Amino acid sequence: MQEYLPLFADAMLLTLFIGWIGVIISVVLGLIAAFIQYFKIPVLRQIIKVYIELFRNTPLLIQLFFLYFALPKIGLSMSPQVCGALGLGLLGGSYMAEAFRSGLESVDKIQSESALSLGMTKFQALRYIILPQAISTSMPAFVANIIFLLKETSVFSAISLMDLMFTAKDLIGLYYKTAECLVMLVVFYLIILLPVSIVGSIIERRLRYASFGD
């Protein structure tokens, strides 16, 4: 089994790399989308709405197939790595947008009104009053989304990325060491996701102290 360890390690690095790039894209996209919806910017808002509904209601596997196999037919080919990161980012963006938007909307209108009447500028109200409260409410959904996205990376093997699933499947096919490979698969996913899960629950617990009002 030892000679396969480097293969799994390489695959894990690839999964981690593309997974976290996808997460970063999704956070950026989600923030943009959430702010567009929160400030009710016309036209853009409708586009964002369509994007969110479209990507929230389709599985990542289909999105990746579309990006990787369908788009080249109209002259837009990307490497599997780019497809993976982009697909994950687009999927995650729609989930993150919902999480951030519900966080922003959970802050009562009275809060921003009071801040403005205390003489704060709009930016100050957003920076010191709205965002801290919004962040602490959307944190659980945010952490859950990150774990969800990192889990979804297991689909990447479908577009011929050499990720953990692909490596495990390959080795099972080559050497018929099913049990060993599956154990390695589970262990490596634990290595990827357990720290995220633990750090996530610590952050959530700390932020719960910051909840306001009740």
- Residues making contact with other proteins (CB under 8 A): 53-54, 56-59, 61-63, 65-66, 69-74, 147, 151-155, 157-158, 165, 168-169, 172, 178-179, 182, 185-186, 189-190, 193-194, 197
For the bound state, the minimum distance from the C-beta of residue 46 to other proteins, rounded and expressed in Å, comes to: 16
* CA-angle at 77, arms to 74 and 80, nearest 5°: 140
> In angstroms, rounded to a whole number, what is the distance separating the alpha carbons of residues 6 and 79?
24
Of the pair 93, 129, the CB lying nearest other proteins is at 93
Nearest in space to 149 (alpha carbons), one of 182, 191, 183, 193: 193
Nearer Cβ to other proteins (111/197): 197
Alpha carbons 163 and 189: distance in angstroms, whole number: 11
Complex with other proteins: residue 58 or 211, whichever CB lies closer: 58
Minimum distance, C-beta of residue 153 to other proteins, in the bound complex (Å): 8
The least CB distance from residue 122 to other proteins, in Å, is 29
Q: What's the first-to-final CA gap in the chain, in angstroms?
A: 55
Return the exposure string of 136-165: e unless at least 16 CB atoms fall within 10 Å of the residue's CB, then b: bbbbbbbbebbeebbebbbbbbbbebbbbb
For other proteins, the closer CB: 17 or 132:
17
Would you say how long the chain is, in residues? 214
Give residues with Cβ within 8 angstroms of 25, minimum separation 6: 85, 86, 88, 89, 90, 92, 93
**Cβ 115 to other proteins, closest distance in Å?**
26
Smaller CB distance to other proteins: residue 37 or 115? Answer: 37
Q: At closest approach, how far in Å is the CB of 192 from other proteins?
A: 9
Half-sphere exposure of 120 (CA within 13 A, CB side): 16
| Amino acid symbol at 121 | T
Nearest distance, CB of residue 125 and other proteins, angstroms: 26
Pick 30 or 87: Cβ nearer other proteins: 87
Nearest to 64 by CA among 164, 156, 151, 162: 156
